[in-house]
Amino acid sequence: MRSGSTLRLAGFAFLATTLGFGQAARDPWLILANGEKGSINAHTTRNDLVRMYGAANVVDQDVDIGKGEMQLATFLFPKDPERVIEILWKDPGTKTAPESADIFGGKSCWELLQFAGGSS
């Protein structure tokens, strides 16, 4: 009887672990420095941002990029100082493939992970 209980417990633990991994959501506040993974990555589009964060939280606005030049940027949560992030696009016309993502302020819920030995 004891071995049957142990087997059931092990089976339950395996099932719970498997279900947990299968339903794990991507961290919505994670950006990896290499651009390959994270909620905002090298393949993110403006439409992806609207799907992840809601249309009301995604705002396009012209920004000064230096020497009097303006470029259309996308801001997430522009009115929330702890969640605001500015995204410049490699192709501003289609708003695909982020060129840069700038986090403002001293306190932010965004997490930027950099890896030792990698470029950032």
Residue span of the structural domain in which 103 resides: 26-113
In a domain, 40, yes or no: yes
In 1-120, DSSP assigns E strands to 30-32, 58-66, 69-76, 85-91, 96-103, 111-113
In a domain, 118, yes or no: no
Nearby residues of 112 by Cβ (< 8 Å), 6 or more positions away: 31, 32, 33, 103
Instruction: Assign 117 to helix, strand or coil.
Output: coil
Domain count, the chain: 1
> CA 71, CA 93: separation in Å to the nearest integer?
10
In a domain, 93, yes or no: yes
In a domain, 46, yes or no: yes
Return the pLDDT at 36: 67
In a domain, 76, yes or no: yes
pLDDT, tens digit (0-9, with 9 covering 90-100), for 64-110: 989 999 999 999 999 998 889 999 999 888 998 888 888 877 788 87
